[in-house]
Structure 1
Amino acid sequence: MFQTSTFTELAESIDGGLSLLTRDLGETELPSFCETKHARTARIMIIDDEMINIEIVQAYLEEEGFRNFLTTTDSTTAVEQIQSEKPDILLLDINMPQVSGLEILEKMRASKELRLVPAIVLTASNDPEVKLKALRLGASDFLAKPVDPSELMLRVQNVLAVKAYQDHLADYSIQLEKKVMARTQELVLSRQEAIHCLARAGEYRDDDTGHHVTRVGRYARLIAEELGFARERLDLIEQAAQLHDVGKIGIPDAILHKPGKLDPQEFDLMRTHCNVGRKIINPLSHEESIRLTTHTSVGMQIMGSTNSPVLKLAAVIAASHHEKWDGNGYPSGIAGTEIPIEGRIVAVADVFDALSSSRPYKDAFPIEKCLQILLEGRGTHFDPDVLDAFMRRQDEAISIRTEYATD
């Protein structure tokens, strides 16, 4: 019989995946500003059409210990130099021939890469409109010419401090995004493994390799792909299809392993695995939830997992993959398009795998006979469009059958 410990392991697998994400994000801290590079190592670019102005500003900053300078008097090449040199701060004259400081600011603001480079405007103009336009174009601060060395030092230090903190935030955001992506992927893989463990728990009752659920999932994905399902739906149906026979947990071993044909009473009991599977996967009723949450923490994990899209679809598949196109299937006897498309897909995938695999009551049929039996069920057992899609991809299905052959 199915052991409670299997459910415990399943719950711990899901819970473990969640904890990976929350644990590592919780340990991630914003780097201290004190850990940033010293301001004196900052790359300072000075753009002025008068070399004497550049020399004066550079001399003032050198007295305070700055050593990393980039300078140019050619405003026509300034943007290209900013692009290639990537300065930490820009000291920019406004009134320059050919290309003004305001034009340089405008080009920088239009560039995603340059818009965050801070610029202190050096200007002899007292025109408030010029200052307002510079601010609108992203200027960080202003200095009036002739430059006061003490004021220059304070303004540069303040702007560099803000720049350093912005760099930290940007780096932190990148690192955090990478960590979230990595942990999210681990969580996805953890959930997939938990789903597969639950699927195998049912399948091991009559297939001690567990390969049947893998093959059915792959066949279902193949058919859905041929039918034009979107990529995200392909992943969903492959995982959900693996849970199609989880209801076998509730079927006695004497029936599952019976070497001969089942009698009517035994077959009726076998049919119940569809509803058993649906009940296992589906969300619990309010009353069941109360009883379960007061029983064990494992129950809470199982109950919580039933809100996932994969398990919701799995419940649909578990309940409908033995329905037939002509209405003669079970457990509900629905027909045609009343059967969910995912159930119709898994019906073909499941029967192909059952025919091509050994069972206690039969040997594996040759592939040619399997395909012939499927075609005989077109329009009666199987949705014609779904079966045709499978037949168009039969070579790939056979390759899957070989790859995941039962040992």
Structure 2
Amino acid sequence: MIQTNSITDLADAAVNGLALLTCGLGERSAPAFCETKHARTARIMIVDDEMINIEIVKAYLEEEGFTNFLTTTDSSTAIEKVTTQKPDILLLDINMPHISGLEILELMRSKKDLKMIPAIVLTASNDPDVKLKALRLGASDFLAKPVDPSELMLRVQNVLAVKAYQDHLADYSEQLEKQVMIRTQELVLSRQEAIHCLARAGEYRDDDTGHHVTRVGRYSRVIAVELGYDANDLDLLEQAAQLHDVGKIGIPDAILHKPGKLDPQEFDLMRSHCTIGRKIINPLTEEESIRLQSHASVGMQIMGSTNSPVLKLASVIAASHHEKWDGSGYPLGISGDDIPLEGRIVAVADVFDALSSARPYKKAFSIEKCLEILKEGRGSHFDADVLDAFLRRFDEILAIHDEYLDPDSE
């Protein structure tokens, strides 16, 4: 007769209850359910070096309706068969020539695609160390030879119930992961659309195509690639760069559309779009604004008052993309490395786009003229390293320029 202990009996009871709960069977027993579900579908692999033992076990299972079997007396082929056939359960002898049952268990548990296949050990050994080692290697249960058919059915059905539950969880997890991925993609697209709409709101009166913000974002990405930006940060920079001029929402049409040169008062008002943009993206208290203008380094405080990575970066860019390398820019007049790198990148992208596009006060400059002006600003207006990165990738920049060409710039 089979050898059992109280722990195994408790495990049986737990598995039975689990099957009832997960399958919603009411008063039907877990074994009856498993018999119905698995009799025609469960693939049972039997590994034993004695064919008579295989035939006995197989006959017991066939009486209960199981029909799908995979058997072998050559233990050296077991792992290959398990790998290719993926049985639902493995009935495994321990003492076999070539490779033992324990070695098979060890090999299975070392392989990701096999470790979840349950195994019931069929053994004539009473050695407790063998049982302990088999448990450590992941054996699901034990049956003593000669096998009792009733106990065999209970063990197989219980193990298959757990396997069915594990498969259900795996399938559910996979479906959930797919749903999360789809939902995440939808949220990312929604965020990108919202950012682009906000960016276009600032440009619409000045550029009704919205291509300016798209081009500046794309140019900034190309520059960042050349500077060795981490791939995960490129999307963030491209989106944030599109918000660089959102502060133009607060600039009167008369100034935005003025065909001639702005007078000093008008120019001061135009320059305020940097501060307006920062406040739109990431509002500060009055006290924080005073501290911000009192010292350039305080400007970095704008990075800490929002939880959105895109808006944090957009706030930095909005406040710094008109700063100049030599300190003659605005609104803070900071210079060199004190200007955030993202602001220096967008400065090059924005100036190139402004030069190469038509504006109310000028026609689009030729590409040659644009490059000449940019190179003149190397080391004074622009960070030399950033400008050089832009120039090294100019073929890509020009392709983006042509792809999003404004009608008036043709």
Aligned equivalents of 1:224, 1:62: Cα separation in 2: 67
1:38 aligns with 2:37: yes
- Give 2:382's aligned amino acid: F
Instruction: Map residues 254-265 of structure 1 onto 2, 5 A cutoff.
Output: 254-265=254-265
Partner residue, 1:244: 244
Query: Taking structure 1 as the reference length, what is the TM-score of the superposition?
Result: 0.85
Partner residue, 1:88: 88
Structure 1 runs not aligned, ≥5 long: 1-29, 289-304
**SS where residue 275 of structure 1 aligns?**
helix
**SS where residue 92 of structure 1 aligns?**
strand
Partner residue, 1:300: none
Instruction: Give yes or no for contact 2:108–2:115 (8 Å, CA) kept in 1.
Output: yes
**SS where residue 171 of structure 2 aligns?**
helix
Query: Taking structure 2 as the reference length, what is the TM-score of the superposition?
Result: 0.85
Aligned equivalents of 1:283, 1:183: Cα separation in 2: 29
Structure 1 residue 55: Cα displacement? 0.9
Aligned equivalents of 2:378, 2:171: Cα separation in 1: 59
- Give 2:62's aligned amino acid: E
Instruction: Give yes or no for contact 2:22–2:165 (8 Å, CA) kept in 1.
Output: no
- Give 2:216's aligned amino acid: V
Instruction: Give yes or no for contact 1:47–1:93 (8 Å, CA) kept in 2.
Output: yes
Instruction: Map residues 154-193 of structure 1 onto 2, 5 A cutoff.
Output: 154-193=154-193
Summarize deviations over 1:117-151 as a string: whole Å, max 9, x none: 11111111111111111111111111111111111
Instruction: Give yes or no for contact 1:281–1:306 (8 Å, CA) kept in 2.
Output: no
Structure 1 residue 98: Cα displacement? 2.0
Partner residue, 1:140: 140
Partner residue, 1:3: none
Partner residue, 1:5: none
Aligned equivalents of 1:175, 1:405: Cα separation in 2: 43
Summarize deviations over 1:316-340 as a string: whole Å, max 9, x none: 1111111111111111111111111
Partner residue, 1:386: 386
Structure 2 runs not aligned, ≥5 long: 1-20, 26-32, 289-304
Partner residue, 1:53: 53
Instruction: Give yes or no for contact 2:206–2:256 (8 Å, CA) kept in 1.
Output: yes
Structure 1 residue 307: Cα displacement? 2.1
Aligned equivalents of 2:317, 2:264: Cα separation in 1: 24
Aligned equivalents of 1:76, 1:138: Cα separation in 2: 20
Aligned equivalents of 1:51, 1:394: Cα separation in 2: 74
**SS where residue 142 of structure 2 aligns?**
strand
Aligned equivalents of 1:143, 1:228: Cα separation in 2: 61
Show structure 1 runs of 4+ deviating over 3 A.
Answer: 30-37, 283-288
Instruction: Give yes or no for contact 1:316–1:340 (8 Å, CA) kept in 2.
Output: yes
Aligned equivalents of 1:363, 1:77: Cα separation in 2: 78
- Give 1:108's aligned amino acid: M
Summarize deviations over 1:366-394 as a string: whole Å, max 9, x none: 11011111111112111111111111122
Structure 1 residue 401: Cα displacement? 0.7
Structure 1 residue 283: Cα displacement? 4.5
Percent identity for Structure 1 against Structure 2: 80
Aligned equivalents of 2:390, 2:209: Cα separation in 1: 24
Aligned equivalents of 1:373, 1:76: Cα separation in 2: 76
Partner residue, 1:367: 367
**SS where residue 38 of structure 1 aligns?**
helix
Against the structure 1 CA distance between its residues 45 and 319, is the aligned structure 2 distance closer, same or farther, given a 3 Å change threshold?
same
Aligned equivalents of 1:283, 1:60: Cα separation in 2: 76
Aligned equivalents of 2:372, 2:232: Cα separation in 1: 32
Partner residue, 1:266: 266
Summarize deviations over 1:54-111 as a string: whole Å, max 9, x none: 1111111111111111111111111111111111011111111222111111111111
- Give 2:338's aligned amino acid: E
Partner residue, 2:79: 79
**SS where residue 361 of structure 1 aligns?**
coil
Partner residue, 1:398: 398
Which structure's relative contact order is higher, taking Cα pairs within 8 Å and 6+ residues apart?
Answer: 1
Against the structure 1 CA distance between its residues 286 and 105, is the aligned structure 2 distance closer, same or farther, given a 3 Å change threshold?
farther
- Give 2:375's aligned amino acid: L
Instruction: Give yes or no for contact 2:336–2:383 (8 Å, CA) kept in 1.
Output: yes
Aligned equivalents of 1:121, 1:336: Cα separation in 2: 72
Instruction: Give yes or no for contact 1:209–1:406 (8 Å, CA) kept in 2.
Output: yes
Against the structure 1 CA distance between its residues 283 and 174, is the aligned structure 2 distance closer, same or farther, given a 3 Å change threshold?
farther
- Give 2:37's aligned amino acid: H
RMSD: 2.0
1:123 aligns with 2:123: yes
Partner residue, 2:316: 316
Against the structure 1 CA distance between its residues 332 and 171, is the aligned structure 2 distance closer, same or farther, given a 3 Å change threshold?
same
Aligned residues: 362
1:98 aligns with 2:101: no
Against the structure 1 CA distance between its residues 33 and 403, is the aligned structure 2 distance closer, same or farther, given a 3 Å change threshold?
farther
Against the structure 1 CA distance between its residues 286 and 348, is the aligned structure 2 distance closer, same or farther, given a 3 Å change threshold?
closer
Aligned equivalents of 1:236, 1:146: Cα separation in 2: 67
Structure 1 residue 395: Cα displacement? 1.9
Structure 1 residue 287: Cα displacement? 11
- Give 1:218's aligned amino acid: R
Instruction: Give yes or no for contact 1:327–1:334 (8 Å, CA) kept in 2.
Output: yes
Aligned equivalents of 2:175, 2:120: Cα separation in 1: 30
- Give 1:355's aligned amino acid: L
